[in-house]
Amino acid sequence: GAGVSQSPSNKVTEKGKDVELRCDPISGHTALYWYRQSLGQGLEFLIYFQGNSAPDKSGLPSDRFSAERTGGSVSTLTIQRTQQEDSAVYLCASSLNRGSYNEQFFGPGTRLTVL
């Protein structure tokens, strides 16, 4: 079956521009996560959506970062006025989130390069 998909796979932008990254979770998964992975680093949690509940935005590094999830499915991560330090791979994951322990299925990521 279809896994988590992300687009674009690569994005090169100029400093100061806005970018939008898209995530299509696995159908039926109610939980959706965004992570940032800098070169050689672990996964840094950014934001978490669960059903119709208010998202957990505690990991967003600044107010230039925002995300939304429309219709409980597709999610868009927006970075405004990009900076060079925003360069990283942005990973999206989804899970069923029924019960306490749920495998997170990751997409292939979007590699963002800010020049």
Partner 1 sequence: GENVEQHPSTLSVQEGDSAVIKCTYSDSASNYFPWYKQELGKGPQLIIDIRSNVGEKKDQRIAVTLNKTAKHFSLHITETQPEDSAVYFCAALNSGSARQLTFGSGTQLTVLP
Q: Are strands 110-114 and 10-13 parallel, antiparallel or unpaired?
A: parallel
Tokens 């079956």 belong to which residue? 1
Closest CA to 19 of 2, 4, 33, 36: 36
Binding site residues, partner 1, CB under 8 A: 4, 31, 33, 35, 40-43, 45, 48, 50, 56, 59, 91, 93, 97, 100-101, 103-109
As measured in angstroms, the least distance from the Cβ of 21 to partner 1 is 14
Length of the chain: 115
**Measured between alpha carbons, how far is 49 from 13 in angstroms, rounded to an integer?**
27
Q: Which is closer to partner 1, CB of 50 or CB of 80?
A: 50
As measured in angstroms, the least distance from the Cβ of 62 to partner 1 is 19
Q: Which is closer to partner 1, CB of 48 or CB of 65?
A: 48
